[in-house]
Amino acid sequence: MFENIKQNDVISVMTSMGEYIATYVKSNGNSVTLKRPHPVIPTEEGLKFGASMTLTGEANPETIVMNMSHISFVSKPYDQLLDGYKQHVSKVIMPGNGLMV
């Protein structure tokens, strides 16, 4: 599933719990390690990023390990989603409302 993904690539991950965007760290066949994960939330105004991973017990974890059995597919995000993610996780405050239309 991660054969064409390199370390530090930003990826979109569809799971049994929804879609997430994160930076790929590594995988071992049973699990995948992701850095700066955020859920992608569709709204009437466009896509938004959730503040943190749910059900982890930690607000905004820097890394998570996800069981491969929960992953339906992985892809590289389209440009607008990638740009929004980079802005969302950046330490630099950018103008705008954080919505992708």
| Predicted TM-score (pTM) of this structure | 0.81
Res 16 pLDDT > 60:
yes
Q: Where are the domains of the chain?
A: 10-79
**Which range, of 11-20, 67-76, 91-100, averages the lowest pLDDT?**
91-100
Nearest to 19 by CA among 37, 44, 39: 39
**Which phi and psi (to 5°) does residue 83 adopt?**
-65, -40
What CATH topology corresponds to 10-79?
A: SH3 type barrels. (2.30.30)
Res 3 pLDDT > 90:
no
The predicted-structure confidence for 20-30, as pLDDT tens digits, reads as follows 999 999 999 89
